[in-house]
Amino acid sequence: MRKFIALMLRAGACCLVLSQQARAAATNTITNISYYEPTNSMYLWVDTAIDYDTYVYYSVAHWGYYYKNSDIMDSFGAQNDFGEDAYSEEFFPYDPNADYTIESYPNLIAKVRHDYGDTYEDYCDYIQWAMGDEPVYYPNYFDFNGSGPDVQINGSSILLGAVYSFFTEGGLAGPPDHVKVVSDDTTYDHDCYFPFRKLTLQVVDGNVPARRVGVNISIRERFFTVEDWNAEIGGVWSTCVNDWSKPSGCGVHFLGKFTDNMFAGCPPPPVPSYCGLPQFVVKWIWCPRGKPEKTLMMHVRDETSEHILTNGSGHYLPGTELR
Amino acid sequence: MRRRFLIFLFIAIGLIAVTASYAINRGFQPYLPAPPPGPIQSTVSLGGISGRVINAEGEPVSGVRVEANPYPLRGGLVRDAGTDAKGIFRIYNLEVGRYKLSVSKEEAGYADTSNHFYAAGFVEMPEVIVYANQTVSWGDIHLGPRAGKLIGSVREAQTKKLIASNDLHSNYV
């Protein structure tokens, strides 16, 4: 037992040292060494993250070794091209007489080494994904998907040097600016038959036409009064469920696509003939880590047991751009 | 002595009345004061879900968006994550409770399995219970069938001219 406690202390001290955020370029690496009781194992993991501005242009990767005393137990490596963390984890048999160590090396891999998408023309909503070996002499392949007709593209007009590139709608997407409707569906709760509106949106840039961002985006909600769109409120009272409806906190959404559920809430029986929330203003906000926030879209919301309206509208057509 | 008691009784009744009035009116209070500025602090218990998305052939699919839809229905932003090259996803920071998982990859023809029109009746949404400080490891989740596309145009009955900006709705029959 004493050995185990000593090990835990050593592992803890090791963890403290390694958990210090080690900056290499713009990466942050966090490591963990802990005891996993259900299988009597040691649980080691490594997480390397980069901020939004970095992962627009780079993929994050890491590699390294798991040590037991001075012996390498295994090596690890991970890469993420979609703006999420590079993550590795492994379990090892627990040895009460051993010291466990993680040695990790973060790495950034350039996605883009050329100008914005001005080297070829935009043919009907093409989405391009390019991959190549490193170092790159020519792309392994260019894969085009889109709703337009087949066209010939002169390969030499595409500048070489890109390892990974995120193109949407024919060009490299700029920073998040506003949103585009993907789908807008209203159904009815099975119990109280109140409307439930599911609005899925895509974050796009400020280009005309707008390009969808090709990376993960952090989004949060903030509520304001209708009287003063700068007077923030922490929540709105729903008379349907006698509880506060509060704004959602900052969370990462895959490739800038996110869903907002709108619902006044379903009360227990007897269901009142009418209930809801007072009108309020919702702002969807891009909340990048360590950067200023930016409002992508704002609207007046009216959620009741009879209807769910945003700026007076009960339904948006797919493709509608909202600011 | 009796006068003091009466004054005390009067103040006590007043306090009870004010408190009761506040409690009753609280139910009709529309707005909660704004949260203090600064980072958002979570005070609720959180957990997570992990799993793998596969296609009809049983192969893992990358780039799939997985959503954790609260169940029973609830308002607010829905937590989601994408699958990696091995089809693996991890959704973090979920409040403790029940969720239905939906998957989509529209650009490859896989519509959102939570869409009633697309998926009703033939795509099952896995139901997962999230516990505090745990990541629930779910098995494989199947993408729905590839969606078809209906293309057409709307014309004016008499003149046969094309009509733009129509909001068309489809219903099961």
What local confidence, expressed as pLDDT, does residue A307 receive?
A: 95
Contact criterion met (CB < 8 Å) for A220 and B30: no
- Between positions 61 and 80 of A, the ones with CB within 8 A of B are 80
**Residues spanned by the domain of B105:** 46-142
Contact criterion met (CB < 8 Å) for B73 and A259: no
What local confidence, expressed as pLDDT, does residue A251 receive?
A: 85
A30 touches chain B (CB under 8 A): no
Does B1 map to a domain? no
Residues of A in contact with B79 (CB under 8 A): 251
Cβ contacts of B77 within 8 Å, gap of 6 or more: A219, A220, A221, A248, A251, A253, A258, A259, A260, A261
Residue type, position A25, single letter: A
Domain with B101 in it: what CATH number? 2.60.40.10
Residues in chain A with pLDDT < 50?
1-25, 112-146, 148, 151, 153-166
Query: Which candidate, A105, A276, A108, places its Cα nearest to that of A192?
Result: A276
Fold type of domain A2-110: Immunoglobulin-like (2.60.40)
Taking only the tens place, the pLDDT of each residue in B78-105 is 999 998 888 899 898 899 999 999 999 8
Residues of B in contact with A213 (CB under 8 A): none
Taking only the tens place, the pLDDT of each residue in A216-266 is 888 999 999 999 999 999 999 999 999 999 998 888 888 889 999 999 999
Q: How far apart are CA A213 and CA A96, in angstroms?
A: 49
Taking only the tens place, the pLDDT of each residue in B113-126 is 887 776 666 677 89
Q: How far apart are CA B148 and CA B111, in angstroms?
A: 10
Number of domains in chain B: 1
Does B171 map to a domain? no
Q: How far apart are CA B119 and CA B111, in angstroms?
A: 8
- Number of residue pairs across A and B with CB atoms under 8 Å? 116
Q: What is the pTM of this model?
A: 0.63
Contact criterion met (CB < 8 Å) for B77 and A127: no
| β-pairing verdict for B88-95 and A27-36 | unpaired
Contact criterion met (CB < 8 Å) for A183 and B69: no
Does B14 map to a domain? no
C-alpha distances in Å from residue B40, one per residue of A252, A258, B33: 14, 20, 15
C-alpha distances in Å from residue A323, one per residue of A108, A210, A315, B78: 33, 12, 16, 20
Does B128 map to a domain? yes
* Tokens 């004054």, residue located: B7
Does B172 map to a domain? no
Q: How many Å lie between the alpha carbon of A21 and the closest alpha carbon of chain B? A: 19
Contact criterion met (CB < 8 Å) for B78 and A259: yes
Q: What ipTM is given for this predicted complex?
A: 0.75
Contact criterion met (CB < 8 Å) for B63 and A303: no
